[in-house]
Amino acid sequence: EQIPVEQHKVRIVQKLFLRPIEERKAAMEGAGFNTFLLNTKDVFLDMLTDSGTNAMSDNQISSMLQADDAYAGSQSFYRMEEAAREVFGKHYVLPVHQGRAAENIVSQAFIKQGDVIPMNYHFTTTKEHMELNGGKVLEIYADDALDIKSSKKFKGNIDIAKLNAVFEKYGKEKVAFVRMEASTNLIGGQPFSMQNMRDVRAVCDKNDTMMVLDASLIGENAWFIKQREDEFKNAEIKDILLEMCGYADLVYFSSRKVSSTRGGGILTDKNEYYLKMRDLLVLYEGFLTYGGMSVREIEAMAVGLRETCDDTVINQSPSFIKYAVDNLDEAGVPVITPAGALGCHVDAMGFLKHVPQEQYPAGALAAALYIVSGIRGMERGTISSVRDENGKDILADVELLRLAFPRRVFTLSQTMYVIDRVKWLYDNRELIGGLQWVEEPPMLRFFMGRLEPI
Ligand code: F0G
């Protein structure tokens, strides 16, 4: 077995608390069986997300001390702009307060009522913004992309035949743009290949349509391209990143993920696109040189973007995820394979065959794992989905418990604790029952909703 060895040392630490099980049970009840509503004072290993929780480097922290406070024209912005141009290879850099703010602006600027947006897979906030602007999301992944157990290297690929069919069916005027999400979040952090980007680009060129890249997890996707796509096995990450971004007309990202700080950005080379977004940016985010971020965050983001080109930074999370996934898979626990980015994704329907999907097995599994271990994961299944126009749950394609591995945060022994507790829970899975709503918000219900055991 390959042991992933940390290529960094720990210099600032935070004490964790492993509460007794009775207290964890009470905390879970208090949180309405929704891990989003837990207080981290009750959480041992916080694997909810990597968003804003990746470890910062010494260079990032020190850069924050030289930040230049200014409403307009801050030197901090120009330093970040230079870093973003260097890493993503695009000229115009629009700063935003986080990824979904970029989605708001891109959706308002480029989607009209009745448009469709084909993509490899949606992300929750992406879809919501697109629909608010009258667009319809079309997911055109390959037929086997959602297979839980798989040896397919690029399950995040767009199916080119399906993409062509979208243009034939709707006509290119109705296609707002084609969106590719790096390390496809909701289907298990699965990457797409460079070849797939080239093929998608060719279809976009043929139809004179814009290609948009969600680069929130681009470092990891680039890492997988290097690992899994022969042509790139000796390539440098910085060149892979530049080639990927080169195919897109517009790149946007959540910096909470990509450079482990706060904020986000939108990049393009086209003046026409820039002008369509510029005034919305000032309206929703703030002036063009801060976009809702503090200057300290902007400085750390600049350093973080450059660190994304460092193999030892971006391979850390995928290699720990692989260690967890391979160990759980070997023990017979149903997990998404091959291991992807962002987290270890446990297949809740395979885990809890006795809990019907209408009773939210992924949510139930997230709550149960917290109670037995103090580990906080995130439901990525039907609770994270929506209801149809008749009020019926749209059952999620995959029902997942996501155990995120924020970059350079957890040690190998903590990872082994996770593996041990998940295995124990699998051996005792009949203890777990389903959930039902107590309080269900109408939009993005998974964030604030409250449930109870049935
Ligand atoms: N796009 C992708 C692919 C994401 O994973 C996220 C956030 C966003 C956009 C939105 O960015 O949070 O900065 O507004 N993903 C986080 C997660 C929340 O936990 O997976 P944001």
> Going by DSSP bridges, is the β-strand pair 450-453/435-439 parallel, antiparallel, or unpaired?
antiparallel
| Confidence (pLDDT) at 21 | 98
What are 283's two structure tokens?
Answer: 């309206």
pLDDT above 90 (res 17): yes
Q: Omega of the bond prior to 318 within 30 degrees of 0, cis?
A: no
% the chain with pLDDT above 90: 99
The pLDDT, as a whole number, for residue 203 is: 98
Q: Is the CB of 256 under 6 A from ligand 1?
A: yes
Which two three-digit tokens encode residue 50? 């990597």
**CB 125 near ligand 1, within 6 Å:** yes
Confidence check: pLDDT of 317 > 90:
yes
pLDDT class for 382, splitting at 50, 70, 90? very high
E strands present in 148-255: 178-181, 211-214, 250-254
**What span, in angstroms and rounded, lies between the C-alpha atoms of 385 and 380?**
8
Tokens representing 442 are 């109408």
Burial class (CB in 10 A: 0-12, 13-18, 19+), 383: buried
Nearest CA, atom 15, ligand 1: 51
Query: Over the stretch 84-115, which tens digit does the pLDDT of each residue have?
Result: 999 999 999 999 999 999 999 999 999 999 99
Ligand 1 binding pocket mutation candidate from 185, 213, 378 (most atoms within 8 A of CB): 185
Classify 37 as helix, strand or coil: helix
Domains of the chain and any CATH numbers: 21-50+313-453 (3.90.1150.10), 58-309 (3.40.640.10)
Is the alpha carbon torsion for 384, 387, 393, 394 positive or negative? negative
Regarding beta strands 211-214 and 178-181, do their DSSP bridges make them parallel or antiparallel, or are they unpaired? parallel
> Model's pTM, two decimal places?
0.96
- The pLDDT assigned to 232 comes to 98
Question: For the segment 134-193, what is each residue's pLDDT rounded down to a tens digit?
Answer: 999 999 999 999 999 999 999 999 999 999 999 999 999 999 999 999 999 999 999 999
> Is pLDDT of 1 > 90?
no
Question: Rounded to whole angstroms, how far apart are CA atoms 239 and 229?
Answer: 14
Distance CA 297, CA 262 (A): 6
Asked if 387 contacts 446 with a C-beta cutoff of 8 angstroms, the reply is no
Q: Are 385 and 394 in contact (CB under 8 A)?
A: yes
Whole-number average pLDDT of the chain:
97
Give the closest residue (by CA) to ligand 1 atom 21. Answer: 99
**How far is ligand 1, taken at its centre, from the CA of residue 123, in Å?**
7
Give the DSSP H/E element, type plus range, for residue 198: helix 194-207
The span from the CA of 335 to the CA of 328, in Å, is: 7
Phi, psi of 406 (to 5 degrees): -55, 145
Q: With contact defined as beta carbons under 8 Å apart, do 268 and 36 qualify?
A: no
* Residue type for position 109: A
For ligand 1, say whether the CB of 49 is within 6 Å of any of its atoms. yes
Does 185 sit in the ligand 1 pocket, CB within 6 Å? yes
Is the Cβ atom of 221 under 6 angstroms away from ligand 1? no
What stretches of 102-255 adopt beta strand conformation (E)? 116-119, 136-139, 178-181, 211-214, 250-254
74 close to ligand 1 (CB < 6 Angstrom): no
* DSSP state letters, 274-328: HHHHHHHHHHHT-STTTTT--HHHHHHHHHHHHHTT-HHHHTHHHHHHHHHHHHH
Beta bridge mates, 254: 264
CA of 266 to the centre of ligand 1 (A): 14
Tell me: pLDDT of 260 over 80.
no
Residue 235 C-beta-side C-alpha neighbours within 13 Å: 22
Q: Are 178 and 146 in contact (CB under 8 A)?
A: no
Look at the alpha carbons of 346, 352, 358, 359 in this order and tell me if their dihedral is positive or negative: negative
Tokens of 190: 């699965």
- b/e sequence 302-341, b meaning 16+ C-beta within 10 Å: bbbbbbbbeeebbbbbbbbbbbbbbbbbeeebbbbbbbbb
Mutating to test ligand 1, I would choose from 48, 50, 51 the residue with most ligand atoms within 8 A of its C-beta, which is 51
Centre of ligand 1 to C-alpha 420, Å, is 29
- Asked if 441 and 448 touch (Cβ cutoff 8 Å), the reply is yes
Point out the residues that are catalytic.
Answer: 71, 123-124, 214, 257, 380, 446
- Give the count of alpha carbons within 13 A of 109, CB side only: 23
pLDDT at 439 over 90: yes
